[in-house]
Structure 1
């Protein structure tokens, strides 16, 4: 049976989480071709990847041009009609891919589909629903209303845009949703939980919050023409909250 989904798994020193991410992919009821794109980890990740190698379509571990470039290279190596990436510290829920594919097959004009996800606090283990909603320009200009672990993109749309912008390292997914929406129209929305986004102290969103906001605001300016006031008010507050969180 040909693969239904090409999945790139970017990773760097995430041995504590990578195994569960891969297990969640191979537990799906959809054929997947999986490419692990490791940035040259030194924490035991390579041994873990080798243990999975019989089931992987490909993998490499070496310094790369950053997360966006690694994801693009992984997806370009595949041939399935649907594509996505799963960060090594996130994981899919049971039946996620088949439900996303089903929604896209119901709406053949949609360039991608996005579902609901959980944010899981790795300290307490508690989950809360990620802020996800149907896409419109007004809502997308205020925040990224698409949660990347819960997405699936048509390869035809991905390749038409050239994948992720390799010049972005923090808000490349936000930029992709804008470009897909501008070029092809509204995505399909699946009102079901399909993935879990781990929240921990070492995520880029936590450790590089100021940079993340700056890049996201530039994405909004690029696609919307201006940056709504909300961004200017929220940035200093969120940066302060994250810095306090790291101190505790």
Structure 2
């Protein structure tokens, strides 16, 4: 069965992330996925990032360290070099959990009509300590558009044909490029959810999405109001938000999302692999 698993192209974009990039790359390469197409795009970092990436060059399909126009541009460059049937991206401070790619590959193999899926995730801090589990509800387009993007980005994967059909990433988005892509995916296909923890997302003050929240909200608003005449009527959007929040609360509760805790089986792995200082000593 292993030989029939689809090729997964995973893109990691990075800039000035010497603190995290080694742990991120090891979390991918240690998957030992038989059909991995791993691409790393560094934006010309002036720290040790390029040297760290170069250590793993023999395991990479493509890598480059050069100036770019930002994260979305770097991701587009990565996907332009991707060869796999399945695609996804992992930011340079996030991690894949053990067995993630195997689970994704098997799901796509066994479900040929599914073009996009996401799994669950764990929130961890900058030092790799677990904060909480993010167990999610199934995809609901109304909730996604009128509440918030609840899909954990590093746990999202899709078929290359879908990415190409929607025109890929839109580089007019600097923060909500993932929300924009998922929204366009949802217009073309049903997005599946597998109740399995696939990734870890770091949560710390210097994070791009936290430090640039106001700009992110404007990009989100652009996604949620485009193509909708009703959205521009004063009382409609608040009503849609309230309804979406209710559906969200009920659906997430039924999925066990509010009572979820970090599974103990992941704690030793996090202690050994998610702490930047420990990885850099190896």
Per the normalisation by structure 1, the TM-score is 0.86
Does residue 34 of structure 1 match 2:38?
yes
Q: How many residues align?
A: 231
Which runs of no fewer than 5 residues in structure 2 stay unpaired? 243-282
Which runs of no fewer than 5 residues in structure 1 stay unpaired? 232-248
Structure 2 partner of 1:160: 165
Structure 2 partner of 1:172: 177
Q: What is the CA–CA distance in structure 2 between the aligned matches of 1:159 and 1:111, rounded to whole Å?
A: 12
Per the normalisation by structure 2, the TM-score is 0.76
Contact 2:8 2:105 in 1 (8 A): no
Please list, as runs of the form range in 1=range in 2, the aligned pairs for 1:110-129 lying within 5 A after superposition: 110-122=114-126, 125-129=129-133
Q: Which moved more, 1:117-126 or 1:200-209?
A: 117-126
Does residue 97 of structure 1 match 2:97?
no
Provide closer, same or farther for how the CA distance between residues 60 and 117 of structure 1 changes in structure 2, counting only shifts above 3 A: same
Deviations along 1:168-209, whole A, 9 cap, x unmatched? 0100101111101101x2111110101000111211111101
Deviations along 1:23-71, whole A, 9 cap, x unmatched? 1111124221111111111111011111111111111111112211211
Q: What is the CA–CA distance in structure 1 between the aligned matches of 2:161 and 2:178, rounded to whole Å?
A: 17
Structure 2 partner of 1:56: 60
Q: 1:209 aligns with which of 213, 218, 227?
A: 213
TM superposition shift of 1:103: 2.3
Q: What is the CA–CA distance in structure 1 between the aligned matches of 2:187 and 2:86, rounded to whole Å?
A: 19
TM superposition shift of 1:126: 3.0
Please list, as runs of the form range in 1=range in 2, the aligned pairs for 1:62-101 lying within 5 A after superposition: 62-101=66-105
Contact 1:93 1:193 in 2 (8 A): yes
Structure 1 partner of 2:150: 145
The structure with more radius of gyration:
2
Contact 2:136 2:195 in 1 (8 A): no
Deviations along 1:124-162, whole A, 9 cap, x unmatched? 823212363211222112111211110111011111122
Structure 2 partner of 1:136: 140
Contact 1:123 1:200 in 2 (8 A): no
Structure 1 partner of 2:192: 188
TM superposition shift of 1:104: 2.6
Task: Give SS of 2:154's match.
Answer: helix
- Please give the root-mean-square deviation of Cα atoms over the aligned residues, in Å: 2.2
Provide closer, same or farther for how the CA distance between residues 128 and 3 of structure 1 changes in structure 2, counting only shifts above 3 A: same
